[in-house]
Amino acid sequence: MLVAGNWKMNSDHTSARQLASAVVAAVGEPRQVTVAVCPPFVNLDATFGALHGTPIRLGAQHMHEADAGAFTGEVSASMLRAVGCHYVILGHSERRQFFGETDASVNRKIVQAHSHSLVPIVCVGETLDEREAGRAADVVSVQLNTSLKDVEVTSSERLVVAYEPVWAIGTGKTASPEEAQNMHAVIRRLLVAQFGDEIGFSIDILYGGSMNPGNASSLLEKQDVNGGLIGGASLKAEEFAQIVRAAQEKA
C-alpha cells in the first residue's frame, strides 16, 4: 500500500518544509503503508530536509528522459536521486494535457528512472468523453501497454501504477468504488500478463482523483485499490494523514 501526495505547483521553500513537517507529525509511524510526498522541483531539497530520518519518502512530479544536456528547464533522474527522491510520477494527465507527455516518452522515462533506482509512479486514465463513449478500458490498456513496452521489473517494489480518471482530478468528482475496482482489475490483468503472477499481483495500483478523507475508505477497501495518489487533500496534513489511516485499516 502506498499513499502519495502530489503537491502539484503549490508551496514555496518555506511552506514546503512546514507542510512536510506537519505531515511527519500527523502521519507518525505508518504501519504497512508507505507514505510519500511529491513537491515541486525547487522544493525537493527543503522537503527532504524535513523528511530526513522519518519513514516518509520523497518523490518528484516529472523528469526528463536524458542523462544530461541542453534541455532548458528540465531535470534528470540522477538529479532527483541526488536530492533524495525515491519516486517519480510519470505521465500525469496534466503533463499529458499541457506539456505534450506521451505514452512513448513515459516508456523511455520509466527505463531511465529504473536505471537510476527511482521508482516510477505511472499514471493512466481516460477523459470523460472516452468514458462516455465506452472506451475507458481500451484507452487505459493502450496507455499502460505502451508505457510499459519492454519494461522489465525484478520486484514489485520497482513500479507503481496510478489510475487517475481525468474527469475526477481536481473536480470533486470521484470514480465510484466499483468503477475504480473495475479499472484496477483491467490494470491488474495487464500487469500479471506482462510480469507474471508473483510480481503482477503485488504491484501497487493507486487510485487518484479527488480522493479525500470522506471517500478514501470505500475506495481503499476494494481488492485492487492499493493506495492513493492525492492532489488537493495532500496539501492539508491532517486530511492527508486521515487517508493514510484509512489505508492502514485495510492493510
Quote the least distance from Cβ 133 to ligand PGA, whole Å: 22
Residue 59 Cβ vs ligand PGA, minimum distance, rounded to whole Å:
11
Which of 91/200 has CB closer to ligand PGA?
91
Which C-beta is closer to ligand PGA: that of 93 or that of 105? 93
The C-alpha cell at 5 is 501526495
Is-catalytic flag, 74? no
Which is nearer to ligand PGA, 119 or 211 (by Cβ)?
211
Interface residues toward ligand PGA, by CB under 6 A: 6, 164, 169-170, 208-211, 229-233
Task: Tell me the CB-side half-sphere exposure of residue 237, using CA atoms within 13 A.
Answer: 16
User: Regarding beta strands 85-90 and 34-38, do their DSSP bridges make them parallel or antiparallel, or are they unpaired?
Assistant: unpaired
- Of 200 and 208, CB closest to ligand PGA: 208
Q: Which of 65, 94, 126, 164 is catalytic?
A: 164
Single out the catalytic residue among 62, 92, 114, 184: 92
What are the beta bridge partners of residue 5? Answer: 37, 230
**Closest distance to ligand PGA from the beta carbon of 6 (Å):** 4
Residues 26-65, buried b or exposed e (16+ Cβ, 10 A)?
Answer: bbeebeebbbbbbbbbebbbbbbebbeebebbbbbbbbbb
Question: Which stretches does DSSP call E strand in the chain?
Answer: 2-6, 34-38, 57-60, 85-90, 119-124, 160-163, 204-208, 227-230
Give min distance, CB of 72 to ligand PGA, in A.
26
Instruction: Judge whether 86 counts as a catalytic residue.
Output: no
Determine the residue with CB nearest ligand PGA: 231
How far is 29 from 137, CA to CA, in rounded Å?
Answer: 37
Catalytic amino acids?
A: 92, 164
